[in-house]
């Protein structure tokens, strides 16, 4: 499964990341930011993937502007 990481700037394109890469990065960090272009279904699959492996996962929507479409997803994954 591939997901889009949050954009560095509003005009840039989001970078893709695989779930395997997220698993590898969990030793270094536990918070990941994903782009608004990811579907809710994709993020739900990500959460289920890690919960099956006995991780605790928390996701929230973070607004960074006044417009309704200025947001990203913050996902915490901890053992």
Q: For residue 41, give its domain range.
A: 2-78
Which residues does residue 3 pair with via DSSP β-bridges, in sequence order?
Answer: 17
Provide the pLDDT confidence category of residue 10 given band limits of 50, 70 and 90: confident
- 29-57 tens-digit pLDDT: 999 999 999 999 999 999 999 999 999 99
Q: Find how far residue 17's CA is from the centre of its chain.
A: 9
pLDDT at 47: 97
Of 37, 53, 51, 52, residue with least CA distance to 2: 37
Q: Determine the pLDDT at residue 11.
A: 87
d(CA 32, CA 66): 22
Phi, psi of 45 (to 5 degrees): -65, -40
Would you list the DSSP string of 47-63? Answer: HHHHHHTT-EEEEEEEE
Q: How many domains does the chain have?
A: 1
CA 14 and chain centroid, separation: 12
């Amino acid at each position: 499964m591939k997901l889009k990481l949050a954009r560095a700037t509003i005009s840039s394109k989001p970078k893709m990341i695989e779930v395997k890469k997220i698993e590898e990065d969990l030793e270094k960090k536990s918070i990941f930011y994903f782009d608004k272009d990811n579907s809710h279904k994709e993020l739900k699959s990500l959460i289920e993937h890690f919960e099956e492996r006995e991780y605790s996962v928390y996701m929230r929507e973070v607004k960074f502007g006044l417009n309704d479409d200025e947001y990203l997803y913050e996902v915490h994954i901890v053992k």
